[in-house]
Amino acid sequence: MKRKPLKYYLASFLGIIVYLASSTPAMATEHAVAGFIYDITGIDIAPVTDGASSDNQNVSAMSLDSTPIPGFNNIGIANVETNLLIRKEPNSNATILGKMPRHSGCEILEPDNNGWTKVKSGKVTGYVKSEYLITGPEASKLALEIAIHVATFNGEGRLRVRKDPSISDDNIIDFIAPGEEILVLDPLVVTYGEEINKWVKVSLDGDDSEEGTVGYVAKEYVDLSYKLAQAYTIEELTYGTGVSNKRANIVNYAKKFLGYRYVWGGSGINNLKKNKGVDCSGFVQAVFGEFGYSLPRTSRDQAKYSRGTTISTSQLKPGDLIFYGSKSYINHVAIYIGNNKIIHASNRKDGIKISNAFYRTPVKCVRIIND
Protein backbone atom coordinates (compact mmCIF):
# COMPACT_ATOMS: atom_id res chain seq x y z
CA MET A 1 0.00 0.00 0.00
CA LYS A 2 1.30 3.42 -0.87
CA ARG A 3 1.41 5.55 2.29
CA LYS A 4 0.25 9.13 1.88
CA PRO A 5 2.83 11.53 3.24
CA LEU A 6 2.08 13.19 6.57
CA LYS A 7 2.42 16.54 4.81
CA TYR A 8 -0.73 15.71 2.83
CA TYR A 9 -2.86 15.48 5.95
CA LEU A 10 -1.36 18.61 7.45
CA ALA A 11 -2.12 20.55 4.29
CA SER A 12 -5.73 19.43 4.54
CA PHE A 13 -5.89 20.56 8.14
CA LEU A 14 -4.43 23.98 7.39
CA GLY A 15 -6.99 24.33 4.63
CA ILE A 16 -9.66 24.29 7.39
CA ILE A 17 -11.90 21.98 5.42
CA VAL A 18 -13.65 20.40 8.36
CA TYR A 19 -17.05 18.85 8.56
CA LEU A 20 -18.91 16.55 10.92
CA ALA A 21 -18.64 12.86 10.15
CA SER A 22 -21.42 10.32 10.42
CA SER A 23 -23.18 9.77 13.74
CA THR A 24 -21.13 6.62 14.37
CA PRO A 25 -18.00 7.72 16.28
CA ALA A 26 -14.58 6.34 15.54
CA MET A 27 -13.51 3.68 18.03
CA ALA A 28 -9.94 4.83 18.39
CA THR A 29 -8.24 8.15 18.90
CA GLU A 30 -5.24 9.74 17.24
CA HIS A 31 -2.47 11.08 19.45
CA ALA A 32 -0.06 13.83 18.46
CA VAL A 33 3.30 12.26 19.16
CA ALA A 34 5.34 13.62 16.31
CA GLY A 35 2.87 14.08 13.54
CA PHE A 36 -0.59 15.22 12.54
CA ILE A 37 -3.89 14.07 14.02
CA TYR A 38 -6.23 13.20 11.18
CA ASP A 39 -8.88 10.94 12.72
CA ILE A 40 -10.20 12.63 15.85
CA THR A 41 -13.40 11.02 17.13
CA GLY A 42 -16.46 12.62 15.58
CA ILE A 43 -14.50 14.84 13.17
CA ASP A 44 -13.41 14.15 9.64
CA ILE A 45 -11.02 16.31 7.65
CA ALA A 46 -11.58 16.26 3.94
CA PRO A 47 -8.65 16.35 1.51
CA VAL A 48 -8.10 19.38 -0.69
CA THR A 49 -9.59 18.59 -4.09
CA ASP A 50 -9.10 20.11 -7.50
CA GLY A 51 -12.46 21.81 -7.12
CA ALA A 52 -11.65 23.52 -3.85
CA SER A 53 -11.47 27.28 -3.68
CA SER A 54 -8.18 29.10 -4.12
CA ASP A 55 -8.33 30.18 -0.47
CA ASN A 56 -8.42 26.56 0.65
CA GLN A 57 -5.60 25.60 -1.70
CA ASN A 58 -3.35 28.48 -0.76
CA VAL A 59 -1.17 26.45 1.61
CA SER A 60 2.39 27.25 0.66
CA ALA A 61 5.47 25.17 1.35
CA MET A 62 6.65 27.98 3.62
CA SER A 63 3.51 27.81 5.77
CA LEU A 64 3.91 24.05 6.14
CA ASP A 65 7.59 24.35 7.01
CA SER A 66 6.84 26.93 9.69
CA THR A 67 4.06 24.94 11.33
CA PRO A 68 4.93 23.43 14.75
CA ILE A 69 4.92 19.64 14.82
CA PRO A 70 2.33 18.29 17.28
CA GLY A 71 4.10 16.80 20.29
CA PHE A 72 6.95 19.31 20.01
CA ASN A 73 7.20 23.01 20.73
CA ASN A 74 10.70 23.34 19.27
CA ILE A 75 11.69 20.20 17.39
CA GLY A 76 15.20 19.00 16.66
CA ILE A 77 16.19 15.97 14.57
CA ALA A 78 19.44 13.99 14.82
CA ASN A 79 21.44 14.51 11.63
CA VAL A 80 23.86 11.57 11.91
CA GLU A 81 24.49 8.30 10.11
CA THR A 82 24.53 6.23 13.31
CA ASN A 83 23.85 7.75 16.76
CA LEU A 84 24.06 11.19 18.37
CA LEU A 85 25.40 11.07 21.94
CA ILE A 86 23.52 12.91 24.68
CA ARG A 87 25.86 14.05 27.48
CA LYS A 88 25.29 15.22 31.03
CA GLU A 89 27.23 18.47 30.52
CA PRO A 90 28.03 20.52 27.37
CA ASN A 91 31.49 19.07 26.72
CA SER A 92 32.92 16.03 24.96
CA ASN A 93 34.27 14.47 28.16
CA ALA A 94 30.98 14.53 30.05
CA THR A 95 29.08 11.37 31.00
CA ILE A 96 27.00 9.83 28.21
CA LEU A 97 23.33 9.64 29.23
CA GLY A 98 21.88 8.19 26.05
CA LYS A 99 21.99 7.91 22.28
CA MET A 100 19.72 9.40 19.61
CA PRO A 101 19.49 7.23 16.46
CA ARG A 102 19.54 8.84 13.02
CA HIS A 103 16.45 10.98 12.36
CA SER A 104 15.18 10.64 15.93
CA GLY A 105 13.36 13.63 17.40
CA CYS A 106 13.92 15.79 20.46
CA GLU A 107 12.56 18.88 22.17
CA ILE A 108 15.07 21.72 22.20
CA LEU A 109 15.18 23.09 25.74
CA GLU A 110 18.01 25.60 25.31
CA PRO A 111 19.36 26.90 21.98
CA ASP A 112 22.91 26.54 20.73
CA ASN A 113 25.53 27.83 23.16
CA ASN A 114 29.18 27.42 22.21
CA GLY A 115 28.39 24.47 19.96
CA TRP A 116 26.07 22.60 22.35
CA THR A 117 22.27 22.40 22.53
CA LYS A 118 20.23 21.16 25.51
CA VAL A 119 17.54 18.67 24.47
CA LYS A 120 15.06 16.14 25.77
CA SER A 121 14.45 12.98 23.74
CA GLY A 122 12.33 10.21 25.21
CA LYS A 123 13.47 9.77 28.81
CA VAL A 124 16.86 11.45 28.27
CA THR A 125 17.66 15.11 28.96
CA GLY A 126 21.14 16.45 28.24
CA TYR A 127 23.40 18.13 25.72
CA VAL A 128 24.22 17.28 22.10
CA LYS A 129 26.61 18.83 19.62
CA SER A 130 24.65 21.46 17.71
CA GLU A 131 26.35 20.66 14.40
CA TYR A 132 24.59 17.27 14.34
CA LEU A 133 21.10 18.64 14.99
CA ILE A 134 18.57 19.85 12.41
CA THR A 135 16.39 22.62 13.83
CA GLY A 136 13.81 25.23 12.85
CA PRO A 137 11.66 25.03 9.71
CA GLU A 138 14.01 22.46 8.18
CA ALA A 139 13.37 20.09 11.09
CA SER A 140 9.59 20.62 10.86
CA LYS A 141 9.64 19.86 7.16
CA LEU A 142 11.76 16.73 7.61
CA ALA A 143 9.52 15.46 10.42
CA LEU A 144 6.53 15.51 8.06
CA GLU A 145 8.44 13.24 5.68
CA ILE A 146 9.94 10.69 8.08
CA ALA A 147 7.28 10.28 10.78
CA ILE A 148 6.12 6.68 11.20
CA HIS A 149 2.44 5.72 11.48
CA VAL A 150 1.95 3.32 14.41
CA ALA A 151 -0.86 1.61 16.30
CA THR A 152 -0.43 1.31 20.08
CA PHE A 153 -2.34 -1.36 22.01
CA ASN A 154 -4.42 0.53 24.57
CA GLY A 155 -5.91 -2.39 26.49
CA GLU A 156 -4.89 -5.10 28.93
CA GLY A 157 -3.93 -8.73 28.40
CA ARG A 158 -2.89 -9.47 24.82
CA LEU A 159 -4.03 -7.97 21.53
CA ARG A 160 -4.86 -10.55 18.87
CA VAL A 161 -3.33 -9.96 15.46
CA ARG A 162 -5.40 -11.73 12.83
CA LYS A 163 -4.67 -12.94 9.32
CA ASP A 164 -7.93 -11.48 8.02
CA PRO A 165 -10.19 -8.61 9.21
CA SER A 166 -12.64 -10.97 10.86
CA ILE A 167 -13.13 -12.90 14.10
CA SER A 168 -12.50 -16.63 13.99
CA ASP A 169 -10.55 -19.08 16.10
CA ASP A 170 -8.19 -20.11 13.33
CA ASN A 171 -7.00 -16.72 12.01
CA ILE A 172 -4.93 -15.50 14.98
CA ILE A 173 -1.29 -15.12 13.92
CA ASP A 174 0.25 -13.37 16.93
CA PHE A 175 -0.32 -11.43 20.14
CA ILE A 176 0.85 -7.93 21.10
CA ALA A 177 1.61 -6.81 24.66
CA PRO A 178 -0.04 -3.72 26.25
CA GLY A 179 1.54 -0.40 25.25
CA GLU A 180 3.48 -1.89 22.34
CA GLU A 181 3.51 -0.33 18.88
CA ILE A 182 3.11 -1.89 15.46
CA LEU A 183 3.42 -0.32 12.02
CA VAL A 184 0.22 0.79 10.29
CA LEU A 185 -0.30 -0.08 6.63
CA ASP A 186 -3.94 1.06 6.43
CA PRO A 187 -5.61 2.96 9.31
CA LEU A 188 -9.15 1.84 8.53
CA VAL A 189 -10.44 -1.35 6.93
CA VAL A 190 -14.23 -1.67 7.13
CA THR A 191 -16.01 -5.01 6.94
CA TYR A 192 -19.76 -5.57 6.91
CA GLY A 193 -21.88 -8.14 8.70
CA GLU A 194 -19.19 -8.68 11.36
CA GLU A 195 -19.36 -8.24 15.13
CA ILE A 196 -16.28 -6.02 14.86
CA ASN A 197 -16.27 -4.16 11.55
CA LYS A 198 -13.47 -1.62 11.91
CA TRP A 199 -9.91 -2.87 11.57
CA VAL A 200 -6.39 -1.54 11.17
CA LYS A 201 -4.08 -3.25 8.70
CA VAL A 202 -0.66 -3.63 10.33
CA SER A 203 2.80 -5.00 9.71
CA LEU A 204 4.61 -7.24 12.20
CA ASP A 205 8.38 -7.57 12.11
CA GLY A 206 9.11 -10.57 9.92
CA ASP A 207 10.96 -11.87 6.89
CA ASP A 208 7.88 -13.05 4.98
CA SER A 209 7.97 -10.05 2.65
CA GLU A 210 9.29 -6.52 2.33
CA GLU A 211 6.27 -5.35 4.34
CA GLY A 212 6.90 -7.94 7.06
CA THR A 213 4.02 -10.11 8.26
CA VAL A 214 0.73 -8.44 7.36
CA GLY A 215 -2.17 -8.72 9.78
CA TYR A 216 -5.22 -6.93 11.20
CA VAL A 217 -6.15 -5.64 14.66
CA ALA A 218 -9.50 -4.36 15.91
CA LYS A 219 -9.49 -0.56 15.71
CA GLU A 220 -11.17 -0.11 19.08
CA TYR A 221 -8.16 -1.57 20.88
CA VAL A 222 -5.47 0.67 19.41
CA ASP A 223 -4.56 4.35 19.34
CA LEU A 224 -3.10 5.62 16.09
CA SER A 225 -0.34 8.20 15.92
CA TYR A 226 2.63 9.44 13.97
CA LYS A 227 5.95 9.30 15.78
CA LEU A 228 9.65 9.86 15.47
CA ALA A 229 12.28 7.61 17.00
CA GLN A 230 13.57 8.74 20.39
CA ALA A 231 16.79 8.40 22.36
CA TYR A 232 17.80 5.21 24.14
CA THR A 233 18.80 5.55 27.78
CA ILE A 234 22.05 4.09 29.09
CA GLU A 235 19.94 1.65 31.11
CA GLU A 236 18.39 0.36 27.90
CA LEU A 237 21.86 -0.05 26.46
CA THR A 238 23.18 -1.91 29.52
CA TYR A 239 23.06 -5.71 29.62
CA GLY A 240 23.36 -6.15 33.39
CA THR A 241 25.88 -7.80 35.70
CA GLY A 242 27.31 -11.31 35.79
CA VAL A 243 27.63 -11.62 32.02
CA SER A 244 30.61 -13.35 30.42
CA ASN A 245 33.07 -11.35 28.32
CA LYS A 246 32.02 -13.18 25.18
CA ARG A 247 28.35 -12.36 25.69
CA ALA A 248 29.17 -8.75 26.59
CA ASN A 249 31.32 -8.37 23.47
CA ILE A 250 28.64 -9.76 21.16
CA VAL A 251 25.92 -7.56 22.64
CA ASN A 252 28.10 -4.45 22.58
CA TYR A 253 29.08 -5.15 18.97
CA ALA A 254 25.42 -5.49 17.98
CA LYS A 255 24.62 -2.16 19.64
CA LYS A 256 27.15 -0.39 17.43
CA PHE A 257 24.64 -0.70 14.61
CA LEU A 258 21.65 0.93 16.32
CA GLY A 259 19.79 3.02 13.78
CA TYR A 260 21.32 1.24 10.77
CA ARG A 261 19.09 0.33 7.82
CA TYR A 262 16.79 -2.65 7.42
CA VAL A 263 16.57 -4.17 3.94
CA TRP A 264 14.47 -7.26 3.33
CA GLY A 265 16.75 -10.02 2.08
CA GLY A 266 19.88 -8.08 3.07
CA SER A 267 22.76 -10.03 4.59
CA GLY A 268 26.53 -10.04 4.97
CA ILE A 269 28.92 -8.27 7.30
CA ASN A 270 29.91 -5.75 4.63
CA ASN A 271 26.29 -4.72 4.07
CA LEU A 272 25.92 -4.30 7.81
CA LYS A 273 29.13 -2.32 8.33
CA LYS A 274 28.53 -0.07 5.33
CA ASN A 275 24.90 0.50 6.34
CA LYS A 276 23.56 -0.92 3.07
CA GLY A 277 20.90 -2.81 4.98
CA VAL A 278 20.25 -6.28 6.43
CA ASP A 279 17.13 -8.08 7.57
CA CYS A 280 16.56 -9.69 10.97
CA SER A 281 18.36 -12.97 10.33
CA GLY A 282 21.02 -11.25 8.23
CA PHE A 283 21.79 -9.00 11.21
CA VAL A 284 22.08 -11.94 13.63
CA GLN A 285 24.17 -13.94 11.18
CA ALA A 286 26.57 -11.04 10.57
CA VAL A 287 27.00 -10.18 14.27
CA PHE A 288 27.64 -13.75 15.38
CA GLY A 289 29.85 -14.39 12.36
CA GLU A 290 32.30 -11.78 13.66
CA PHE A 291 32.78 -13.99 16.74
CA GLY A 292 33.33 -17.27 14.93
CA TYR A 293 29.76 -18.58 14.79
CA SER A 294 28.55 -19.79 11.40
CA LEU A 295 24.78 -19.45 11.63
CA PRO A 296 22.29 -20.36 8.86
CA ARG A 297 20.81 -17.58 6.75
CA THR A 298 17.11 -17.53 7.68
CA SER A 299 15.39 -17.13 11.04
CA ARG A 300 13.69 -20.52 10.64
CA ASP A 301 16.99 -22.30 10.06
CA GLN A 302 18.70 -20.35 12.84
CA ALA A 303 16.03 -21.60 15.25
CA LYS A 304 17.03 -25.17 14.31
CA TYR A 305 20.80 -24.54 14.47
CA SER A 306 22.43 -27.86 15.36
CA ARG A 307 24.76 -26.33 17.95
CA GLY A 308 22.03 -24.31 19.62
CA THR A 309 20.12 -25.29 22.75
CA THR A 310 16.44 -24.53 23.27
CA ILE A 311 15.87 -22.65 26.54
CA SER A 312 12.92 -21.07 28.36
CA THR A 313 12.35 -17.33 28.63
CA SER A 314 13.31 -17.51 32.32
CA GLN A 315 16.77 -18.79 31.32
CA LEU A 316 17.55 -15.96 28.89
CA LYS A 317 20.97 -14.33 29.10
CA PRO A 318 22.40 -11.48 26.98
CA GLY A 319 23.48 -12.95 23.66
CA ASP A 320 20.74 -15.60 23.47
CA LEU A 321 18.34 -15.54 20.53
CA ILE A 322 14.56 -15.02 20.67
CA PHE A 323 12.38 -16.11 17.77
CA TYR A 324 8.92 -14.79 16.92
CA GLY A 325 6.19 -15.87 14.54
CA SER A 326 2.79 -17.52 14.43
CA LYS A 327 2.33 -20.70 16.47
CA SER A 328 5.25 -22.90 15.38
CA TYR A 329 6.02 -20.87 12.25
CA ILE A 330 9.03 -18.57 12.75
CA ASN A 331 9.62 -15.39 10.76
CA HIS A 332 11.64 -13.06 13.01
CA VAL A 333 14.71 -13.25 15.23
CA ALA A 334 16.32 -10.90 17.76
CA ILE A 335 19.31 -10.86 20.10
CA TYR A 336 18.47 -10.68 23.80
CA ILE A 337 20.55 -7.94 25.49
CA GLY A 338 19.36 -8.18 29.11
CA ASN A 339 16.82 -6.28 31.21
CA ASN A 340 13.96 -7.73 29.12
CA LYS A 341 15.24 -5.96 26.01
CA ILE A 342 16.24 -7.14 22.54
CA ILE A 343 18.14 -5.64 19.63
CA HIS A 344 16.92 -6.55 16.16
CA ALA A 345 16.67 -5.46 12.56
CA SER A 346 13.01 -4.57 12.96
CA ASN A 347 11.54 -3.23 9.71
CA ARG A 348 12.22 -0.82 6.87
CA LYS A 349 10.87 2.13 8.86
CA ASP A 350 12.68 1.62 12.18
CA GLY A 351 15.84 -0.18 11.06
CA ILE A 352 17.97 -1.77 13.79
CA LYS A 353 16.45 -0.89 17.14
CA ILE A 354 15.97 -1.92 20.77
CA SER A 355 12.55 -3.25 21.80
CA ASN A 356 10.92 -4.98 24.73
CA ALA A 357 11.66 -8.70 24.53
CA PHE A 358 7.99 -9.55 24.98
CA TYR A 359 6.48 -6.98 22.63
CA ARG A 360 5.26 -10.07 20.81
CA THR A 361 4.88 -13.58 22.13
CA PRO A 362 8.16 -15.49 21.64
CA VAL A 363 7.87 -18.78 19.77
CA LYS A 364 11.27 -20.13 20.78
CA CYS A 365 14.46 -19.12 22.62
CA VAL A 366 17.84 -20.58 21.63
CA ARG A 367 21.26 -20.44 23.29
CA ILE A 368 24.15 -20.27 20.83
CA ILE A 369 26.87 -19.19 23.27
CA ASN A 370 27.69 -22.13 25.52
CA ASP A 371 29.74 -20.67 28.36
Q: Would you name the residues annotated as active-site residues?
A: 280, 332, 344
Contact 30, 38 (CB under 8 A): yes
Contact 107, 76 (CB under 8 A): yes
Helices (H) and strands (E) counted in the chain, each on its own, are 8, 24
Contact 204, 175 (CB under 8 A): no
Q: In what order do the strands lie in the sheet with 341-347?
A: 309-311, 362-367, 321-326, 329-338, 341-347, 351-356
Query: Would you call 55 exposed, middle or buried from its count of C-beta atoms within 10 A (0-12, 13-18, 19+)?
Result: exposed
- Rounded Cα gap, residues 79 and 121, in angstroms: 14
Query: Would you call 3 exposed, middle or buried from its count of C-beta atoms within 10 A (0-12, 13-18, 19+)?
Result: middle
Which residues 6+ apart lie within 8 Å of 310 measured at CB? 364, 365, 366, 367
Q: Kindly give the interhelix angle for 280-289 and 245-255, rounded to the nearest 10 degrees.
A: 130
Q: In what order do the strands lie in the sheet with 75-78?
A: 133-135, 75-78, 105-113, 116-121, 124-129, 83-87, 96-101, 232-233
Contact 368, 307 (CB under 8 A): yes
Alpha-carbon distances of 301 from 317, 319, 342, rounded to whole Å: 21, 18, 20
- Rounded Cα gap, residues 106 and 71, in angstroms: 10
